[in-house]
Amino acid sequence: MEHRVSKFERFAVHLVLLLFVVIAVFPFLWLLSTSFKPPADIYTSEIHLIPQTFTLDNYKYLLNMKDNLFLKWVGNSLTIALLTTVLGVFFAATTAYALSRFNFPGKRLTGYSFFLAQMFPGAVLIVPLYNIVKNLGLLNSYTGLILAYITTALPFCVMMLKGYFDSIPIELEEAAKVDGLNTFQTFYRIVLPLALPGLAVTGFFAFITAWNEFLFALTFMNDQAAYTLPVGLRTFVFQFRTDWHFLSAGAILITLPVLLFFVVAQRWLISGLTAGGAKG
């Protein structure tokens, strides 16, 4: 017999969901509130979520820093994140397609190696990657940092896209070959357009990896003008104090591009995650 959900059960479910939403959103709301507060309202025993004195001075300070440092950090982060995304998705798509469609010596070992690479935390790779980047003469450069980010993002992106390519019927590619398309034309004209949701997920992951990453950027970049945003915000943390008003405003500015991207592309991201998880 079909069970009918009572009004009380429905209310309880919505109440629990609302509680989880509040828990998830509250830190961001607190950060947003702090970014609009003057220092006097932050370093006080009274707690107010809504600023008692609303000010834009924190944002104005960041956007008008000496030598335009904050804007340089924004440019550095955007350049590195976008290049990491484009190159990461390109390498991940070609590698995942090869693992999904072709049989070659070492295929199983290659697949296992990507799984194995995801088991280790990124911090383990800092020393070997630093030595490699140093020997290549790429310290304090976009290229060195992008190589490090691609290295850490590629295993997940490859396995994600492989699962998505596995879900695309191979008959479509066989029909394209009958029509005269070669392997590369089939990949770019048939497979990639069908894999757009999966590409959106891997692109988003690669972008997030580069945009939010701190440890590699701190290790590889030693020129203040070459800092990325996360490392640049570290300059507001001192030995005996932290400029929370500037730090909060900077954190909000860091979050906005990613939040905007997710809002615009959430339909493709969700469908990509669902389809990519169907096979692996």
Query: What are the domain boundaries of the chain?
Result: 1-55, 58-276
pLDDT tens digits along 36-67 = 999 888 887 777 788 888 899 999 999 998 88
The letter for the amino acid at 120 is: F
109: three-class secondary structure by DSSP: helix
Q: Does pLDDT of 228 surpass 90? A: yes
N- to C-terminal Cα separation, the chain: 37
Q: Does pLDDT of 10 surpass 60? A: yes
Q: DSSP code of 236?
A: G
Mean pLDDT of 143-148: 92
Range 58-276: architecture per CATH: Orthogonal Bundle (1.10)
Kind and range of the H or E run holding 259: helix 244-276
pLDDT tens digits along 85-122 = 999 999 999 999 988 888 888 888 888 888 787 777 77
Whether the Cβ atoms of residue 164 and residue 198 lie closer than 8 Å to each other: yes
Mean pLDDT of the chain: 85
Kind and range of the H or E run holding 231: helix 229-233
pLDDT tens digits along 208-225 = 889 989 999 999 998 888
- Looking at residue 131, what is its pLDDT? 92
How far from chain centre, in Å, is Cα 69?
23
The letter for the amino acid at 24 is: A
- Looking at residue 273, what is its pLDDT? 55
pTM of the model: 0.83
